[in-house]
Amino acid sequence: MYAFNYKKAASLSEAKTLFASGDDPLLMAGGQTLIPTLKQRLASPSDVIDISKLAELKGIEVSGDGVVIGAGQVHASVQNSAEVKEAIPALSALAGEIGDPAVRHRGTLGGSIANSDPTADYPAACLALGATIHTETRTIEADDFFTDLFETALEEGEIVTKVSFPVPDKAAYVKFPNPASRYAIVGVFVAQKGGKVRVAVTGAGSKVFRVAAMETALESNFSADAIGEIAVPSGDLNSDLHASADYRAHLITVMAKRAVAACG
C-alpha cells in the first residue's frame, strides 16, 4: 500500500469539499474493492475520503410500490431486511449471494454500483428492476447509469446517495459464479411488472446489459420454454480462463431460464 491521507467525512457536503480539495482523491464506502486494490499497490490516491458512516447515505424505506435503499447500506442489511425480503425477495436474496459474510458486512450498495464492475451483482438488479439512482444533485435511470467497463454516468466526485427500486410483480436472480473468485460469470436478473419484462445480465459483457429478445418473448409467454432457443450472440461477450464467450452465451440462456422458473 502506498501512503495516502485518510479523511473521514462527517457529512455529504464535507465529503464533497474534501474531494474537491484533494490532488488525486478517491471516495471509499465499504472499501471492499478499493482496499484490496490499495494493498496490491494498484492505486495510489492522494486522499481516501471515507463516506462509510454518513447518516445521509443510510436507511431502508419500503412503501407500497417501491424500496429505497441508502447507498451506504451494507449488503448484509439488505439481505436481512424483513421489509426488503417481503417487497422484493429477489433483491435480498441477491444481496445474500454477494461475496462472503465479511464482504457483505462492509461492502455497500452505492459502492458496488458506482464501481460498475462488470461481474458485480447489484447492477443486474438495478437494470432489471428499472431502478433510479439518486445522487446529491440529480437522479439517473439505471438504463443510463452503467456506461461501460468500470464506467458510470457519475461525474467526477458525484456521490450516489440512494437507489429506488420499483416493486415488481415477480422477479428472480440466478448466478453462475466464477469457481475461483465467486464473482458472476453470468448472473441474470429477470423482473416482471405490469406486463413488462426486463432481463438484465451481469458478468458476461463489459457492463451489465438487457436482452431485448428475451424480454419480448417473455412478455408474450412468461415461461422458461419461451426463451430456451434465444441465444445472446457471443461476439461481444467476455472470454477468459473460466468461461469462453460461447460458454457464457450458453450460460446466459440457462441462467435466464432458471430465473424465469424461479419467479414462480
Partner 1 sequence: MASSSSSNVTGIGAPVRRKEDHRFITGKGRYTDDINQPGQTWGSFVRSPHAHAGIKSIDKSAALAVPGVVAVLDGKDLAADEIGGLICGWMIHSKDGSEMKAGAHPALALDTVRYVGDHVAIVIAETQGAAKDGAEAVVVDYDGRPAVIDLATAQKAAPVHEVSNDNTVYDWELGLKAETEAAFEKAAHIVSIDITNNRLVPNAMEPRAAIGCFDEGTGNYTLYTTSQNPHVARLILSAFIGIAPEHKLRVVAPDVGGGFGSKIFVYAEETVCVWAAKKVGRPVKWTCDRSEAFLSDCHGRDHISHAELAVSEDGKFLGLRVKTLANLGAYLSTFSSSVPTYLYGTLLSGQYAIPAIYVEVDGIYTHTAPVDAYRGAGRPEAAYLVERLVDRAAHQLGRDPAELRKQNFVREFPYETPVIMTYDIGDFDASLDRAMEMIDYKGFDARRAEAATRGKLRGIGISTYIEACGIAPSKAVGSLGAGVGLWESAEVRVNPTGSVEVLTGSHSHGQGHETTFAQVVSDKFGIPIEDVEIVHGDTDKVQFGMGTYGSRSGAVGMSALANACDKVTVKAKRIAAHLLEVPVDEVTLTDGVFAAVSTNETLAFGEVSLAAYMAHNLPEDGMEPGLAEKAFYDPENFTFPAGCHICEVEIDPETGVTRIANFVAVDDFGTVINPMIVEGQVHGGLAQGIGQALLEEGIYDKDSGQLITGSYMDYTMPRADDLPTYQVDMTITKCPSNPLGIKGCGEAGAIGSPPAVINAVAHAIGNDDIAMPATPQRVWRSLQESA
Q: Which residues bind to partner 1, rule: CB under 8 A?
A: 1-3, 40-41, 176, 178-181, 183, 241-244, 247, 250-251, 254
Between 139 and 181, CB nearer to partner 1: 181
Least distance in Å: CB of 49 to partner 1? Answer: 21
Least distance in Å: CB of 180 to partner 1? Answer: 4
Query: DSSP secondary-structure letter at 143?
Result: H
* CA 246 from centroid of its chain's CA atoms: 24
Would you state the cell numbers that stand for residue 150, as one nine-digit string? 468500470
CA–CA gap between residue 72 and residue 95 (Å, rounded): 14
Q: How many degrees, rounded to 5, is the angle at CA 260 between CA 256 and CA 261?
A: 115
Least distance in Å: CB of 142 to partner 1? Answer: 27
Least distance in Å: CB of 213 to partner 1? Answer: 20
Least distance in Å: CB of 128 to partner 1? Answer: 21
Least distance in Å: CB of 158 to partner 1? Answer: 29
List, as one string, the DSSP characters of 149-210: TTEESPPTT--EEEEEEEPPSEEEEEEEE-TTT-SEEEEEEEEEETTEEEEEEESSSSS-EE
Between 170 and 242, CB nearer to partner 1: 242
Between 33 and 73, CB nearer to partner 1: 33
Between 64 and 233, CB nearer to partner 1: 233
Between 131 and 224, CB nearer to partner 1: 224
List, as one string, the DSSP characters of 8-55: E-SSHHHHHHHHHH-SSEEEESS-TTHHHHHHTT----SEEEE-TT-G
C-alpha distance across the termini of the chain, in Å: 48
CA–CA gap between residue 242 and residue 257 (Å, rounded): 22
Between 18 and 93, CB nearer to partner 1: 93
